[in-house]
């Protein structure tokens, strides 16, 4: 695990965007595993700028997102479909049929989970997985548990995650209680993993994930077993690390 200390959020975003750029330049047909939330916003902004300058081309790239809320349709402004289009996809030349996000409205969530895992397998797995991290060290919506969930699954969000996500909604009761999340198999079989974290509220999660025991109680700790993980975090997020 390589840990890089960024000066601040914009430095973190540029460094992470550089790694994604290199991936897409070296392998234009890359399968990119993407995340939503506050952490990657700066990364997406930077990638859009480089795309606009002509330095990046996403025409052959494919994306698979980590997760989607249950019960929110693609055009709901709180959905992760909407987030990804408004913050990234609408501004680059990725082909619409190369964009993949779990369907939060699927009538049969189990079938949707199986479809998503099959899709990732058929794509040949993920080349580069971008991850944020929850305060409770969740990645995707793999919440702390007594086991690691291997496959894409429907998950009941924890109180901590619901509380953290309330900032994106008008009222706490509007925050969906369930999501569909990629499982640990697809995440950890990604050939490269890039985890970004910013702010003091991530310090405990980063410390436990990078230096604590590998345990499903700290979902991101599983990354210690992966051979190519880069953590890019700012000083606040690294403040508990040696």
Question: Which position has the token pair 């009941």?
Answer: 156
Whether the Cβ atoms of residue 147 and residue 121 lie closer than 8 Å to each other: no
Which of 65, 67, 117, 153 does the annotation list as catalytic?
Answer: 67
* Interface residue with ligand F6R, options 17, 35, 72, 233 (CB under 6 A): 35
Cβ 79 to ligand F6R shortest distance, Å: 11
Catalytic site includes residue 143: yes
Only segment of 6-14, 98-106, 111-119, 127-135 that touches ligand F6R (CB under 6 A): 127-135
36 binds ligand F6R (CB under 6 A): yes
102 binds ligand F6R (CB under 6 A): no
Which of 65, 136, 142, 165 does the annotation list as catalytic?
Answer: 136
132 binds ligand F6R (CB under 6 A): yes
33 binds ligand F6R (CB under 6 A): no
* Interface residue with ligand F6R, options 7, 8, 29, 38 (CB under 6 A): 38
Question: Which position has the token pair 């990234």?
Answer: 88
Catalytic site includes residue 136: yes
Measured from each CB, the residue nearest to ligand F6R is 132
* Window 141 to 180, contacts with ligand F6R (CB under 6 A): 141
Cβ 227 to ligand F6R shortest distance, Å: 22
The Cα 80–Cα 158 span in angstroms is: 18
Only segment of 23-31, 32-40, 97-105, 118-126 that touches ligand F6R (CB under 6 A): 32-40
Nearest to 239 by CA among 3, 70, 36, 73: 3
Footprint of ligand F6R (CB under 6 A): 35-39, 66-67, 132-134, 138-141
User: Could you list the active site residues?
Assistant: 67, 136, 138, 143
């Amino acid at each position: 695990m390589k840990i890089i200390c960024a000066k601040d959020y914009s430095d973190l975003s540029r460094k992470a965007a550089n790694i994604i750029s290199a991936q897409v330049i070296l392998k234009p047909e890359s399968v990119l595993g993407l995340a939503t939330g506050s952490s990657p916003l700066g990364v997406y902004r930077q990638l859009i700028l480089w795309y606009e300058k002509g330095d990046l081309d996403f025409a052959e790239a494919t994306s698979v997102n980590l997760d989607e809320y249950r019960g929110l349709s693609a055009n709901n402004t709180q959905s992760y479909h909407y987030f990804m289009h408004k913050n990234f996809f609408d501004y680059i030349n990725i082909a619409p049929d190369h964009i993949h996000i779990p369907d939060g409205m699927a009538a049969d969530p189990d079938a949707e989970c199986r479809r998503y895992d099959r899709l990732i397998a058929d794509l040949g797995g993920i080349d580069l997985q971008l991850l944020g991290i929850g305060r409770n060290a969740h990645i995707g919506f793999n919440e702390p548990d007594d086991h690691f969930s291997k496959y894409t699954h429907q998950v009941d969000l924890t109180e901590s995650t619901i509380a953290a996500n309330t900032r994106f909604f008008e009222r706490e009761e509007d925050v969906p209680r369930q999501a569909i999340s990629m499982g640990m198999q697809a995440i950890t079989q990604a050939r490269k993993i890039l985890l970004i974290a910013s702010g003091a509220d991530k310090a405990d999660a980063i410390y436990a994930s990078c230096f604590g025991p590998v345990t499903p109680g700290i979902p991101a700790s599983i990354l210690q077993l992966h051979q190519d993980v880069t953590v890019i975090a700012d000083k606040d997020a690294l403040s508990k690390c040696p």
